[in-house]
């Protein structure tokens, strides 16, 4: 069972792909990176403060810095506060395996 499901309550939007740890993942127009990752079955998004401390979206509003990912080589990006866009490359912490 995926962590989160798209409940089909939004108007259809453009589908595109982002690369997560090198794997293609579907995202839809207007979604945050965190939303696309959770809907794709990733529950662990980060590890904090140590590699053996799996973390995920916690506050969902950019306050807790729990959902930090590496985006296009830039570390510590809040995935809940960043728009998903075609062609983005996201690297998750080692621990964050789907």
Partner 1 sequence: MPSVDIAVVGAGPAGASAAIAAAQAGARVALIDEGIRLGGQFFRQPARPFNSQASDALRNHFRRGRQLLEQLDHPKIEVFTGATVWNLDPKRRLQLYGSHGRLEVRAHCIILATGATERSAAFPGWTLPGVMTAGAAQSLLKGHGLVPGGRVIVAGSGPLLLAVARQLLDHGAHVTDVVEATPLRRWVKHGVHMRRAASQLWEGVEHLQRLKRAGVGLHHGMAATRALGSLQVSGVEIDRVDERWRPEPGSTRQLAADVLCVSYGLIPSTELSRLAGCGHRFDTSLGAWVVGTDTNLETSQHGIYAAGETRGVGGAEAALAEGRLAGLLAAASLGLWGAGHASAVAEARAEQARLRAQTEAVLGLFCVQPGLADLATDETPVCRCEGVTAGAIRLAAREGARQLNSLKAWNRCGMGPCQGRTCGPIAAQIIASETGAHLEAAGCFTARPPIRPVPLSALAETATPHPTGTAMEDHAGYGRVVTGRR
**Residues at the interface with partner 1 (CB under 8 A):** 1-13, 28-32, 35, 38-39, 43-45, 48-50, 53-66, 68, 76, 80-83, 95
* Shortest CB 24 distance to partner 1, Å: 19
* Shortest CB 88 distance to partner 1, Å: 13
The SS3 of residue 25 is strand
Site of tokens 């690369």: 19
Distance CA 86, CA 47 (A): 25
* Shortest CB 35 distance to partner 1, Å: 4
């Amino acid at each position: 069972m995926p962590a989160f499901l798209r409940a089909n309550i939004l108007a259809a939007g453009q589908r595109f792909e982002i690369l997560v740890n090198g794997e293609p993942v579907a995202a839809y127009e207007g979604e945050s990176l965190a939303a696309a990752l959770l809907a794709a079955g990733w529950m662990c998004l980060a590890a904090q403060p140590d590699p053996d401390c799996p973390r995920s979206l916690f506050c969902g509003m950019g306050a807790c810095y729990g959902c930090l990912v590496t985006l296009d080589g830039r570390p510590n990006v809040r995935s809940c506060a960043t728009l998903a866009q075609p062609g983005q490359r996201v690297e998750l912490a080692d621990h964050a395996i789907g």
